[in-house]
Structure formats: structure tokens, C-alpha cells
């Protein structure tokens, strides 16, 4: 019997970009109608040395994503785009502020060019090291959602539920591209053994594949209603660290540490030297990824170290700033790598302009 060829198009055809939501949608909702509807401020604390070859700048930009802004800044200086450091990527259709590091003298930056392209340098400091991805404390969001039909009481109740119980920590659909374009390309490269192209662009396509497999497992956990608790055999991560271990069943210490927030269940970002879950957790993982076994198998050809990501994300200071007849404005803070659109998807059936 001939094995049916792997068809990524068929497998993705029935999947929504946001996968399974944990909460029932309260209403339709539209975001990013205008850049000012989506405001992001990167949270950052650093002990600057006030000396060194790198100029740290807090920039504010409108309708520019991080990559576009970096190209413009590189053009206004004598440095290469790849030498400019940043802590995280920001959306395009928005007003965003974030920190970057540029290995230049302050006088080398053309403020005129930046102003023409809607980039403002808000403050700057000298430091001796390049800014790396993941070095921010997270992001504060202020988001206007339009075309809604929900009252304040109902919305406040849902916000309280999410503040307490969290939301599924999916990678957002922007990671995979419009209609999964980036993911389709990544799978094509993997199945054709084009490992050189797969790992180019700082491993963008590889990261896309790992993110998708994580989302698939998390989506199944959401369906089983065990995404924001722990089950037998879960991998647990010590909060605020990268330390991971496999939990054992019927362990009162695990329950106590979970309840206190000291540890949290995590899912895999595929790679080598992976710590395997046990018992029920590994059963769910294996059954869920059965349809993607060719992707998982081919991952063994890649020399990339495994990583882990929490299944549950909890926002800080989630509140309603304003609510009108057909719109609301929300404010909240998220840790690095967490997606505002995924939180909003637990409130509304989202449409992006």
C-alpha cells in the first residue's frame, strides 16, 4: 500500500489562523482601521553605561514595521541593517515605540530623513553592547476595537476571566503570513531538503515551522480544556527562567508550585536534545502531531536545539479605557513574545483592516 503524499495545502485548508479559541466570541470586532487604533510601547529597563560604541535609541514610528524602520535608519547612517539591534518586532499598521541599538556616533544619524519617514528619536543613551532580541520586558498596548456590539458589563466580565485564567499563548497569524504563505514556503523547503534556505533570514522559516507545531498542540489542549492547567507528564518551566523538567503524577508539591505561579506547563519548539513529556501529555502530543509526522521526522535532519513556550499567557493591567455604542479602547501589558491579537481573539471575532 502506497503512503498518501503529504499535502500541506489540504491540512491547512480547514484551519483558522488563530486555531481554537478558549472563550466564546462576544461580538465581531475590527482593529487597525487607522494606525492610531493600535498603539504599542515597548517596556524596557537598562542600566546604560553612557559610553561605548552603541547608541541606544527609543524610536517612535507610524505605519512602519521594525524591519522597514531599521532599513531607513541604516540608510541614514554609515552602518549595515544587520548591525542594528532590536529587542522585538513590531506591527506595521500601528503607532509603536521601541528601543534599537546603532553602532554609530549620534551625529551620524540623519534626523531629517527619519522625520520624513515618520520616525522620531524620543531619547538616546550610549552603551557598550548590541541590543539583542528578547531583552525587553514586554509591551504595553492601547487598542481601539471598532464595529463591536457588546455592553460594558459583559466585556468587563470577560476581561476579568482572562486576567485570572489567562489566554492561549498562540503564535499570532502574522508569524505564518497571509493565507499561511510563510508556512507553506517553510514546509516546501523542509520537504525538498533545502536546509540552507530554510535556515536563512535568521532562521525565519524554521521558526515558522516550530511555531506552527506548537500552535497545533496548544489548539488540541484548548479543545480538551486543559490548556491553562497541568496534566500528568507535563513539562514544567520555572517562571522567569529557561529551566524545564518533566512533572510526575500525584505530586502535591507540583500542584502547590503551579498554584503559586512558581512553575508553568510548556509546550515544545521542535529541535534536538528535547526533554520529552510523559504520561497523558505525551499521548496528546503524539496523537495531535500524527498528521504532521513528515515535518517532525524531517526536523531530525536539522541541527537546531529544542526550545519551550508556556501554553498559557496572562496579561497585566487589562482594563477598559473607554466604551461607546460600537467601539471600545483597551489597555494591557504582555510579556515578550506574546501576541495582542491572540488576547483580542478571546474577546472578539477579529477582522484586521
The domain spans of the chain are 45-127, 168-313
Query: Any idea which fold 168-313 has?
Result: Pseudouridine synthase (3.30.2340)
Topology classification of domain 45-127: Pseudouridine synthase (3.30.2350)
Long-range contact set of residues 250-254: C-beta below 8 Å, sequence gap at least 24: 254/230
Q: How far is CA 91 from CA 29, 32, 148, in A?
A: 18, 10, 22
User: What is the structure's pLDDT at 14?
Assistant: 47
91 given a catalytic annotation: yes
* 7, burial (CB in 10 Å: exposed 0-12, middle 13-18, buried 19+): exposed
The pLDDT of residue 187: 86
Q: How far apart are CA 21 and CA 117, in angstroms?
A: 38
CB-based contact 235:265 (threshold 8 Å): yes
d(CA 290, CA 300): 16
**pLDDT at 12 (0 to 100):** 59
Q: Which of 37, 83, 91, 259 is catalytic?
A: 91
Residue 40: the pLDDT is 98
Helices and strands in the chain, H and E counts: 11, 16
State residue 25's pLDDT score. 95
How far are the Cα atoms of 122, 276, 299 from residue 293, in angstroms, in the given order? 49, 16, 10
For 130, residues 6+ apart whose C-beta sits below 8 A from its C-beta are 54, 83, 85, 101, 103
**Which residue numbers in the chain have pLDDT < 70?**
1-18, 107-108, 112-113, 201-202, 249-250
8 A C-beta contact, residue 197 and residue 189: yes
Amino acid at each position: 500500500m502506497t503512503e498518501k503524499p503529504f499535502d500541506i495545502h489540504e491540512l491547512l485548508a480547514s484551519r483558522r489562523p488563530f486555531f481554537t479559541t478558549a472563550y466564546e466570541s462576544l461580538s465581531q470586532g475590527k482593529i487597525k482601521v487607522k494606525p492610531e487604533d493600535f498603539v504599542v510601547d515597548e517596556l524596557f529597563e537598562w542600566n546604560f553605561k553612557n559610553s561605548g560604541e552603541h547608541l541606544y535609541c527609543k524610536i517612535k514610528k507610524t505605519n512602519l514595521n521594525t524591519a522597514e524602520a531599521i532599513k531607513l535608519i541604516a540608510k541614514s547612517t554609515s552602518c549595515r541593517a544587520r548591525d542594528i539591534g532590536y529587542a522585538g518586532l513590531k506591527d506595521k499598521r500601528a503607532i509603536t515605540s521601541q528601543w534599537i541599538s546603532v553602532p554609530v556616533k549620534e551625529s551620524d544619524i540623519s534626523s531629517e530623513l527619519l522625520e520624513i519617514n515618520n520616525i522620531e528619536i524620543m531619547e538616546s543613551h550610549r552603551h557598550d553592547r548590541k541590543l539583542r532580541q528578547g531583552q525587553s520586558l514586554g509591551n504595553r498596548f492601547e487598542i481601539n476595537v471598532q464595529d463591536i456590539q457588546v455592553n460594558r458589563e459583559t466585556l468587563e466580565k470577560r476581561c476579568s476571566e482572562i486576567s485570572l485564567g489567562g489566554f492561549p499563548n498562540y503564535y499570532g497569524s502574522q508569524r505564518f503570513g497571509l493565507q499561511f504563505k510563510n508556512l507553506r514556503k517553510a514546509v516546501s523547503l523542509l520537504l525538498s531538503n533545502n536546509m540552507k534556505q530554510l535556515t536563512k533570514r535568521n532562521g525565519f522559516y524554521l521558526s515558522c515551522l516550530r511555531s506552527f507545531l506548537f500552535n497545533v498542540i496548544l489548539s488540541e489542549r484548548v479543545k480538551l480544556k486543559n490548556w491553562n492547567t497541568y496534566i500528568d507528564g507535563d513539562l514544567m518551566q520555572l517562571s522567569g527562567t529557561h529551566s524545564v523538567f518533566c512533572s510526575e503524577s500525584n505530586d502535591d508539591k507540583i500542584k502547590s508550585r503551579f498554584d503559586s505561579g512558581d512553575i508553568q506547563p510548556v509546550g515544545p519548539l521542535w529541535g534536538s536534545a528535547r526533554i520529552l513529556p510523559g504520561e497523558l501529555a505525551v499521548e496528546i502530543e503524539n496523537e495531535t502531531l500524527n498528521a504532521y509526522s513528515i515535518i517532525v521526522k524531517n526536523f531530525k535532519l536539522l541541527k537546531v536545539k529544542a526550545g519551550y513556550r508556556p501554553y498559557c499567557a496572562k496579561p497585566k493591567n487589562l482594563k477598559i479605557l473607554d466604551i461607546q455604542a460600537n467601539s471600545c479602547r483597551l489597555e494591557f501589558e504582555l510579556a515578550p513574545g506574546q501576541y495582542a491579537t491572540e488576547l483580542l481573539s478571546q474577546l472578539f471575532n477579529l477582522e484586521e483592516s
